[in-house]
Amino acid sequence: MKKNFLTAIKEALHEEMEHNGDMICIGEDIGLLGGAFGVTEGLQERYGTGRVIDAPISEAAIVGSAVGMSLNGKTVMAEMQFIDFISCGFDQIVNNLATYHYRTAGDVDMGVVIRGPAGGYGGGALYHSQMNEAWFANSPGIKIVCPSTPSDAKGLMKYALRDRNPVLFYEVKQLYRDNAIAEELPEGDYVIEFGQASIRREGSDLTFVTYGQNVYHCLKAADLLAEEGVKAEVIDIRTLVPLDEETILKSIAKTNRLVVVNEAPMTCGFAGEIVARIADKGFEYLDAPPLRVTRLDTPVPWAKTLELHVLPSVEKIVAAGKRVVRF
C-alpha cells in the first residue's frame, strides 16, 4: 500500500520508540493532540506521558530539556510546531547541543533530533514559511536533513534517531499529504545513511542540485527542457550536512553546467555554499557560470501571487537552465 510523507515519518517515530526504550519525545501539543499536523498521533497513548511529553510554548525550554535528557543517556525527538520558531531555541542549539561532543573531547554524545514542518507555497506567510537551514549549517556539530520522498523521510528519520550526533530534520509541510508522491515503503527495519545524494533523473546537458519540495520543481523543469532537446540531471542531496560532494562533482564533470535550487533566501543561503564548493573543487568542469534559483531576499508574503513571485518556480528553473545551456 502506498503511503504519504507524513505517514512515513509517523511510522519511523513509532518504530524507533518501540526499538529504543530510552527514547523520549517532547514538543508542543505532541501528546493529546498528536501534533499540529498529526505526525505524533498515537505516540502518547501507546507510550505514556513519561515518554511523550507535552511541553509549554517555549522552544528554548524544549531544546534545553532535550539537552539535559540526552546528557542523562536518553535519545530525544524534539518537535518544533513550525520550524520558523526554532529561532527561539537558537542559543541552546548552537551553544550547547552542537558543542557538547567537542568540548568534552568526544566523551559526551548528543542524541537529539529536532524536527518540524518547514517551507512555503502554502500561504503561511512570513512566520510559517521559512527555510532557515543555513543558520545551522554554519554551526559545526549539527547534521541537517531535508528529504523529498516518503521512503527517504522514513529511512533518514530512523537513521537520525540512531545517530548520537544532533540532527535537524526539515520536513517540507507541503509534502506531508501530497498523494502524488505517495509510495510503497521498503519492508522491514531499513535506514538511509547520511551523506548520500540521490540522482532523481539522469541527464547530460546540465545539472540541477536541490532538496526538499524543490526536487519536484526541478523534475518538472527537466520535463519541459527535454521537450526542447535539453537533458537535465536532477540531484536530490537529501542531507545538507554531511554533503555528498562526490555525486555532485561527478555530475558536473559530465554535464559541465550547474543550477542550484532551494527555497531559502539567496544571500548566505545553502545554494551559495554548493556553488562555492563547485568553484573550489570542480571549476575546470564548468562551461558556464553556475546559477542559483532561490527565494528572493524578502519575507514570504501571504498573498498567493506575491508568495509565488518570491519563491522558486518551475518557470524560473527552466529559464536558468536555458541560460546556462546557451552560455
Residue among 14, 19, 101, 128 flagged as catalytic: 128
What value, to the nearest 5°, has the Cα angle with vertex 22 and ends 194 and 53?
95
3-state DSSP helix/strand/coil % of the chain, to nearest 5: 40, 20, 40
Residue 128 known to be catalytic? yes
Q: Which residue has the cell 554535464?
A: 255
- Phi first, then psi, for residue 172 (nearest 5°) are -70, 110
Residues 11, 91: Cα–Cα separation, whole Å: 31
What's the gap between Cα 252 and its chain centre? 23
Residues 63, 112: Cα–Cα separation, whole Å: 9
Helices of type H across the chain: 5-19, 43-47, 59-71, 90-91, 100-103, 133-137, 150-162, 214-226, 245-255, 270-281, 304-310, 314-326
Q: What DSSP designation does 97 have?
A: I
Residues 301, 282: Cα–Cα separation, whole Å: 37
3-state SS, residue 170: strand
CB-based contact 53:24 (threshold 8 Å): yes
Catalytic annotation, residues: 128
